[in-house]
Structure 1
């Protein structure tokens, strides 16, 4: 689905900007939600989507601020994993037949199970419908059916228990235990951290039931950020939640929603905070704000749109760990602009070293850094010596390790415990949704009607606040 790599023309002073078309796709009208023709173009080194509804007008939406990087990432794209078993017939076309339908080209990598729409907060920014519609708290047999839907569609994958706020359910440990008994190896809990900051025994019960990771909402290191995004001060809650996770032996992934002009200048401080909380903090997953759910419905201007490239640029500029753009790997399945991932390892001088780089073979990189680490441990040289276990990464990276033996095991423990994942994924909204990209989505919300719905489609919100999906798990 990627366009041809273009050599961008040089523009002389006073010349009108030239528009280069990369590819044709389809999008949605933000007003009536009808499928309409769209074009991805380059102008002034920015990448835009241009689309027009015959009834409601035209829109030009910023996708990316660096056209050359956008095209370079496009070269990394390969075809998505096929969907093994579709569950809904094609009738109206994408995105109106999600289930998944035969048009979908991306199997499930992460299944998001919304086990409640109740919440103990009322955040000004929220793509869920917590507290806005009729209460939804499926029973255990409904939840078993949701797990089975994932298995029937394609088998074992990572599961995220979400909401609403899943920790408002006292039976969450039983829900986790059920998933483990059905064969799911990695189950994470998406939470604002309030209950686990106050109730250690509840957190310990989640851990004992088999929870592998706390996916912790964490928008920044300043209270003004939390006041804007969450409507209240939250730093003490996050501190207590992370400390309780440390005591319980539960790994934590920090998840900041990045709003341009609010906390994009805090990205470096978020990284430094994560480093200070290792090894309990295992990673950071940046989510540039999208215009859906509980968020302003009008089209954002270019200066408000936070892109993946903006996140990476801020990481490089606001930190002193020697980050390079090539340390961050674009998603290789279907649309490479959907997400990035990376892995870094912390030395004894509190400096991160890249274990990922575009163009390098991971296994060779791992071998080289393992040998360098062993040598450096003897020579007290804190150079580029780290590695990671690429195999079974999802299953093992997010867990906090147990203490091992001395000797060589000390080096292995350091590598295992002091590695930090940095990733990011901006969800599509009605303004920038690309139907071709949506067909390759591998993050799916599990509904209670034996359906899997791509997350971007599930939370899609029109200009008047209406939705296609996302009511009572449907």
Structure 2
């Protein structure tokens, strides 16, 4: 027996295969303890895709989710008259800048189809500056975090110049998305990235076995080099059910053992777009992983150390932004994505065990306190809020269960009161961030979720939400419009595209 939870809008995946974006009505339904999206195209019939394999977890996450105030210049479909939704509702919390579609690997699941698009997209420094300027001038709040991505950014000889430009433009957080091959080849390059202003490396890391991760030795060498350079890394597994679902606990344990350099693990359940848009339904179902399945697998792998109850959706922390606004007296970037966009938890190491922050902090009560404090007004509200927090935070902390050597009260108060990158960094360095982001594709796309996207691409055609840039192939169209043919690029540079490919040689 199914029950309709919500009426939404989506697209037809079969129309999409024919390069047509056809908006159709859809429903979020509960059936047999799971949450699904169901939709019907007049031409291609009905479609059904899992959203959450656990309706209880879905309902818990759905309790959190404030609508934000989005910028005016977000363009979900720059080349189309189709209007996917009325107005974008969230800010550019993280801006992606796509600097090249060349790549030194050919990963089977690449949602950008990098290195195989049949053209070369590689904006100049001047063009990249103009793209980044769009989000730095964004209203009501400029974007403060940028990810340099591709393709493989380290293929560009001027990546350090791009990083320095981003820093000069005022981005407080600069991270590079990479497969890690070049970082493994050169420790000196890792140091140069840090010196240029990179805060974090966001590195593909699909498992600890050769079967799940053919480049595991290169990943490990890259981490060794990053450790020497003092540059933190977030491990990013693309989770595919029939490829590496059994690796999740091992990845977390590896991160725990390298906590001095690994800042977190951000799991990304596979999205069927880019290189794997046109696979069979059987292959899609054998690879599909939802949040609930992933979280339950982690709980099993870690013998219950991190449980389903320890995870909360991203907008759970929205009140912290409002409190920082109260304390600092200025607008802050707000975490207002849909609860369906992702979730996270933090864990601390206590001996050989991982202890989730929820074991010794009443996080729901603490967030309620923060929300109340953020609503204070009147004279000296900054001082009154700080004093009140110092006095009341202890009510939500169980010191006896707190891991040895962790001043959780101090970390929480400093992070909130400081409200800046350095104060948050202290919290991150003493804990392991565990997160998840499941990007949408044409089978499970929900327009309401899309309208609240907080990860945007700065492009030559404007600011584009992540799940239209990749999930609806808008990025490929933008890149092609602003590209040059491969043979022209080869003649211009004196190189051949195939020379980009890593030759697989051992890295000493």
Instruction: Indicate whether the TM-score tops 0.5.
Output: yes
- What displacement does 1:63 show? 1.2
The alpha-carbon distance between structure 1 residues 303 and 65, as it changes in their structure 2 partners (threshold 3 A), is farther
- What displacement does 1:324 show? 2.8
The answer to which of 297-306 and 190-199 deviates more is: 297-306
1:344 to 329, 347, 350: 347
Counterpart CA distance in 1 for 2:450 and 2:25 is 15
Query: Which residue is equivalent to 1:360?
Result: 365
2:205 to 213, 218, 241: 218
The answer to which of 177-186 and 298-307 deviates more is: 298-307
Map residues 379-394 of structure 1 onto 2, 5 A cutoff: 382=404, 386=408, 388-389=411-412, 390-391=415-416
CA RMSD of aligned residues (A): 3.0
- What displacement does 1:157 show? 2.3
2:447 to 415, 427, 435: 435
Residues 1:59 and 2:47 are matched in the alignment: yes
Residues 1:259 and 2:240 are matched in the alignment: yes
Map residues 111-122 of structure 1 onto 2, 5 A cutoff: 111-122=95-106
Residues 1:311 and 2:311 are matched in the alignment: no
Residues 1:143 and 2:124 are matched in the alignment: no
Counterpart CA distance in 1 for 2:81 and 2:6 is 23
Counterpart CA distance in 1 for 2:304 and 2:395 is 17
Query: Which residue is equivalent to 1:27?
Result: 10
Counterpart CA distance in 1 for 2:405 and 2:433 is 19
Counterpart CA distance in 2 for 1:430 and 1:281 is 33
Counterpart CA distance in 2 for 1:68 and 1:370 is 25
Matched position secondary structure for 1:431: coil
The alpha-carbon distance between structure 1 residues 172 and 468, as it changes in their structure 2 partners (threshold 3 A), is closer
The alpha-carbon distance between structure 1 residues 213 and 198, as it changes in their structure 2 partners (threshold 3 A), is same
The alpha-carbon distance between structure 1 residues 368 and 346, as it changes in their structure 2 partners (threshold 3 A), is farther
- What displacement does 1:395 show? 2.5
Counterpart CA distance in 2 for 1:384 and 1:398 is 15
The alpha-carbon distance between structure 1 residues 188 and 398, as it changes in their structure 2 partners (threshold 3 A), is farther
Q: TM-score, normalised by structure 2?
A: 0.76
- What displacement does 1:123 show? 1.2
- What displacement does 1:376 show? 9.4
1:335 to 327, 334, 338: 338
Q: TM-score, normalised by structure 1?
A: 0.82
Counterpart CA distance in 1 for 2:218 and 2:300 is 29
Q: Deviations over 1:277-316 (max 9, x none)?
A: 1110000000001110112523466554200111211111
Residues 1:73 and 2:61 are matched in the alignment: yes
- What displacement does 1:369 show? 10
- Where structure 1 has 5 or more consecutive residues not aligned to the other structure, the ranges are 1-17, 96-100, 227-232, 400-412
Residues 1:395 and 2:400 are matched in the alignment: no
